Amino acid sequence: MTTQFVPRPVGVDELRHAWHAVQAGEFRAKGASDRAPVRPPRPDATQARIVWTPPVGERVLPVVGCAGSCGATVLAVALATATESSARVVECASSTATGLAAASTAELGATSDGWVQGSRDQVRLERAGTPRPHLDAIPAPPSAEQPMLTIVDVAHPIDEVLAGSGWLADLLAATPVVVLVARATVPGMRRLETCADLVGAGRVVAAVLGPTRTRWPREVSHSLGPLTQAVIAAGRLVEIPEDRVLAVAGLTPAPLPSSLITAAATLLPLTKRTPSDAE
């Protein structure tokens, strides 16, 4: 005789309770109903607020992806590679989401506060060595040996960053220019418009991954918002060519495509403008 399993009915209240538990980060392992819920560690309320003041002579440029997988980390490395002076990329993603894990040609070890350092040619790469579940707990970037261009790959949604209280929120609120990276799609343009509104269009240099603007689909061109149109009219939008190898393999020690370096070199001078210059 075969015993048929009949699932227990689940009430609405129980489903609602489970959903709230997921939202709060409370997860239980299968078969461990008596265990305490596992929660990511939260910053101590009494812990000192993390601040970062770049040294004199160091120029800092934040790069923000308007959505996931739009090429912000690749562009950050390309910008650092295209500069004529010393440069580094500081990636703020958790170690579980880093795009720089395989990008170095040489690993240089870890710092005491959890930054893993590497290099590729003249560019220094700095990424997280441990998970970072909370934005405000991201440690300040390591000190640079000499004044250089520091590209900060924000690697988090811009609205979450601006709502925080750490050094990254301070940077986005105070820096003269922010590079926003988006894809040449209708959703990508909508996200670019939203992010430009949060940052302030006069501070935005836009990098759009895809074909040249003259070859954008009509639907994409018609979806441009007024802030994005103002950025274009000011000459502060640069098309970034998409590379099929990078799209599949991500960053590796291999040299970046020359077309990408050319686009980054075109974008770099735009980031030296102040908001008043851009109007």
pTM over 0.75? The answer is: yes
Of 231, 213, 229, 218, the residue nearest 270 (C-alpha): 231
Sign of CA dihedral 198, 200, 201, 204: negative
Strand pairing class (178-183; 59-65)? parallel
What the chain holds in terms of domains, given with CATH numbers, is: 59-278 (3.40.50.300)
DSSP code of 192?
H
Residue 120's beta-bridge partner residues?
123
Q: Which residues of 17-29 are buried (b: 16+ CB within 10 A; e: fewer)?
A: eeeeeeeeeeeee
Q: How high is the pLDDT of residue 17?
A: 57
Crossing angle, helix 186-199 and helix 226-233, to 10 degrees? 80
Parallel/antiparallel/unpaired status of strands 123-128 and 204-209: unpaired
Q: Around Cβ 183, how many Cβ atoms within 10 Å?
A: 22
Q: What is the pLDDT along the chain (279 residues), one digit of tens a residue?
A: 544 544 455 555 555 555 555 455 544 444 444 444 444 445 555 567 899 999 888 999 999 999 988 999 999 999 999 998 899 999 999 999 999 999 999 999 999 989 999 999 899 999 999 998 889 989 999 998 888 999 999 999 999 999 999 999 999 999 999 999 999 999 999 999 999 999 999 999 999 999 999 999 999 999 999 999 999 999 999 999 999 999 999 999 999 999 999 999 999 999 986 444 544
Return d(Cα 249, Cα 102) in angstroms, integer: 10
Cβ-proximal residues to 187 (8 Å cutoff; 6+ apart), any chain: 67
Residue pair 169/152 in contact by the 8 Å Cβ criterion = no
Strands 123-128 and 115-120: antiparallel
Which H or E run contains 44? none
How many other CB atoms sit within 10 Å of the CB of residue 231? Answer: 24
SS3 158: helix
Q: Please give the Cα distance from 229 to 222 (Å, whole number).
A: 11
